[in-house]
Chains A and B, each alone.
Chain A
Amino acid sequence: MIDFSYTIWILLIPLILFVVVGLFGNRFKPIVSGVVGTTGLFVIWILSLITAYKYFFLLEKAGDGAFQKLIAANYRWLNLTDKLHIDLGVLLDPISVMMLIVITTVSFMVHLYSIGYMHGEKGFERFFATLSLFSFSMLGLVVATNIFQMYIFWELVGVSSYLLIGFYYTRDTAVAASKKAFIVTRFADLGFLIGILMLSYATGTFDFITLTSANSPAFTSGQGIWFLGLSTMTWSMIFVFMGGAGKSAMFPLHIWLPDAMEGPTPVSALIHAATMVVAGVYLVARMFPVYIHEPVALDIVAWVGAFTSLFAAVIACTQFDIKRVLAYSTMSQIGYMMLALGVSGYGGHEGLGYMASMFHLFTHAFFKALLFLGAGAIIHAVHSNYMNEMGGLRKYLPITHITFLIACLAIAGIPPFAGFYSKDEILVAAFHHNKVLFAIEYIVAGLTAFYMFRLYYSVFWRKEVHYHHTPHEAPATMTIPLIFLAIGSAFTGFIPFSKLVTSDGFPLEIHTEWNVAIPAILVAVLGIIVATVLYLKENSIAKKIISGLGGFYTAAYHKFYIDEIYLFITKKIIFNLISRPIAWFDRHIVDGTMNGMAYITNEASGRIRKFQSGQLQEYALVFVSGAVLLVLLFIYLWTN
């Protein structure tokens, strides 16, 4: 048996970094905070790699040949009663070990990149402290041994995301965006909490291993029809998914993610592309054995994922802010992962969707982080977010150009880059489950290739626009992460993922199904060709198509007015019809009662205050008269 108890340090090091850098960072030069933070992340990156190696290759399998789930550390945090206790610990299983790799790799790269990107910014050490807090929370989330620990870290992740989106707190838009992100995800987390409470009430446990074991209490309890024809357990899973949908920016809780791009670009790369936004996918994957028994909840996961991926891909084609294009692209890709989970079964080849989802999560983390960091390098060079203020940058930013191209090819699903393999598995899983979802994903694959290459051509090709000063390539601290992630995007597809991460822990034999893969490649190439025709050179074809589409284009450009609908619901309906009457009731009825009582007391006291004259002998007279009266009363009572 290999000892994994050191994995607790993977959690503790970022926490210590957060405290130390947060408290003492401003005593030293800013660069010290950056170097300390990056070194700490490097250490836990190495620790995570060692853990993964030991877990996947050295640890003996369980008796039946599956990867085992083991508790590396456990600490009973709140011991409420013997049955009800809340633990904090480290759970190692294939997906949590995989997430450790994803998070520490991307986080380390982003730390390194930020030293260059954030150079000279006010609040440099605050930035690194918050990044460490985020790394701590995210790592705590993925290694959670029970759903309550996951919820705690889930909220911590939300807080650090809030802090980082609002990093430029003097800018109104950033403050508004951070509040929006926090409130929308908080609203979704309310659903998550309700789901947790229902689940644990029905099953009597928080523990993941118990919940997902073969004879889980979740399969037997709470099965009766409860509400709207669904059982308690189904509802609890739907509510839990609501929390996941909020964090993962699934429709209709996606509105915070595009605005979250107000944060610094490395933050977008780390939190809003590679790690935090996949927490929802991870949550569903973690609870997957329970979801399998709740087909209604799983169908909701699949359809929400499919709809979001199409919806976001359409919007991404119309946006001009490069970070927003990438944000919608992230939503779309996460929709893919959700869909893959939704169409998956449990065990063997049925569980292909699960494995595909995790695989896509893994590869997506690399190429999406690379895209965001590349976008950061572009923004760093031209000081603009808008692609119509860019063009012809391939001469000035050669490294960024090449790495960005690799990421675009990877996300478009062109072999042999990573995205092809993972996306292919998802398409195969969808193909065997539901042809409608499969068709949607084909469309999305084409759209993905189209909008990525629209972005690529608009930034790096086309006519060169007039820049205020000549754009220059980013410093080495920024290009090294780009190169590293580009290597990852190119080659992670070759990892034999099906041998390592599967729904039931047993290795799985897969092979590329070319009857699905070749049309997918063709669709992606078609998307790239269309983008090439429209955007490689200045021409008017794109404008003609836009005017041809008319209202649909306008609607997509305005993100299908979802923000406006939310504002209408909250401002016009909730504020006017619910909040205003409640406020009126509070102000006039509740406060009025209290004010009335105070007024009566005040008036009565005003009338009788004259009794306190300050004349000692008046008081004595009253006292003596009272005493005499009492005596007379007693005598009267006694004699009768």
Chain B
Amino acid sequence: MFEGVPLTWFLIVSTIMFFVGIYGFLVRKNLITILMSIELILNSVNINFVAFNKILYPDHLEGMFFTVFVIAVAAAEASVAIAIIINIYRRLVNIDVEKMNEMKY
């Protein structure tokens, strides 16, 4: 399907996704959006893994497997993160990250 697509293009896409995720993580105030940004970051990494595996070492499968692991961990992480967010909401009736500044000096 992607025969003949050069590696660089994949990397360009994943880099764009990565920095979009970083940008979202840093500037959005909503915890859910921040969680989504983290997913973007993880998935950009996944693209890198798969692309390197497919193009540089076509007869190996480590990159694929690693991606599957990352997806599984990301799912687990999302469930934990959402549980935390729900608890925060119950306490503060708010999920604005800037309001959560109790743990300071």
Contacts and interface: CB of A to CB of B under 8 A. Distances in A.
Interface in A603-630: 609-610, 612-617, 620-621, 624
B105 interface: yes
Nearest to A617: B26
Contacts of B26: 617, 620-621, 624
The 9 closest A-B pairs by CB, nearest first: A614-B104, A614-B101, A609-B105, A612-B105, A614-B103, A612-B104, A613-B104, A621-B26, A616-B97
25 contacts: A609-B105, A610-B105, A612-B104, A612-B105, A613-B101, A613-B104, A614-B100, A614-B101, A614-B102, A614-B103, A614-B104, A615-B97, A615-B98, A615-B101, A616-B97, A617-B25, A617-B26, A617-B27, A617-B97, A617-B98, A620-B25, A620-B26, A621-B26, A624-B22, A624-B26
Given A616-B97, A617-B98, 11 more contacts: A609-B105, A613-B104, A613-B105, A614-B100, A614-B101, A614-B102, A614-B103, A615-B97, A616-B100, A620-B26, A621-B26
A612 to B, nearest CB: 5
A600 to B, nearest CB: 19
Contacts of B102: 614
State the main secondary structure of chain A at its contact with B: helix
A616 B27 CA distance: 11
Contacts of A610: 105
Contacts of B98: 615, 617
Interface in B10-54: 22, 25-27
A603 to B, nearest CB: 15
A613 B98 CA distance: 10
B35 to A, nearest CB: 12
B94 to A, nearest CB: 14
Contacts of A614: 100-104
Nearest to A613: B104
A610 B104 CA distance: 8
Interface residues of A, number: 11
Nearest to B29: A617
A621 B22 CA distance: 9
Nearest to A609: B105
Nearest to A610: B105
Contacts of B103: 614
Contacts of B97: 615-617
Interface in B80-101: 97-98, 100-101
B103 to A, nearest CB: 5
A314 to B, nearest CB: 77
B45 to A, nearest CB: 14
Contacts of A613: 101, 104-105
Interface in A569-626: 609-610, 612-617, 620-621, 624
A135 B100 CA distance: 73
A145 to B, nearest CB: 67
A147 B5 CA distance: 95
Contacts of A620: 25-26
A617 B97 CA distance: 8
A49 to B, nearest CB: 80
Contacts of A617: 25-27, 97-98
Contacts of B105: 609-610, 612-613
Interface string A226-239: 00000000000000
Nearest to B102: A614
A613 B102 CA distance: 9
A613 B66 CA distance: 36
A617 B27 CA distance: 8
B32 to A, nearest CB: 14
B96 to A, nearest CB: 11
A615 B97 CA distance: 8
Nearest to A608: B105
Nearest to B103: A614
Contacts of A612: 104-105
Contacts of B100: 614, 616
A612 B26 CA distance: 17
A359 B103 CA distance: 84
Nearest to B101: A614
A18 to B, nearest CB: 59
A620 B102 CA distance: 17
B47 to A, nearest CB: 18
Contacts of B25: 617, 620
Contacts of A616: 97, 100
A612 B103 CA distance: 8
A617 B25 CA distance: 8
Nearest to A615: B101
A341 to B, nearest CB: 76
Nearest to B98: A615
B48 to A, nearest CB: 14
Contacts of A624: 22, 26
A614 B102 CA distance: 6
A615 B101 CA distance: 5
B79 to A, nearest CB: 20
Contacts of B27: 617
Indicate the member of B22, B100, B105 with the most A CB atoms within 10 Å.
B105
Indicate the member of A613, A616, A621 with the most B CB atoms within 10 Å.
A616
Contacts of B104: 612-614
A596 B102 CA distance: 32
A621 B25 CA distance: 9
Contacts of B101: 613-615
Contacts of A609: 105
A609 B102 CA distance: 14
A614 B103 CA distance: 5
B18 to A, nearest CB: 11
Nearest to B23: A624
B11 to A, nearest CB: 14
B70 to A, nearest CB: 19
A610 B101 CA distance: 13
B38 to A, nearest CB: 10
A630 to B, nearest CB: 15
Interface string A489-518: 000000000000000000000000000000
A602 B27 CA distance: 34
A495 to B, nearest CB: 87
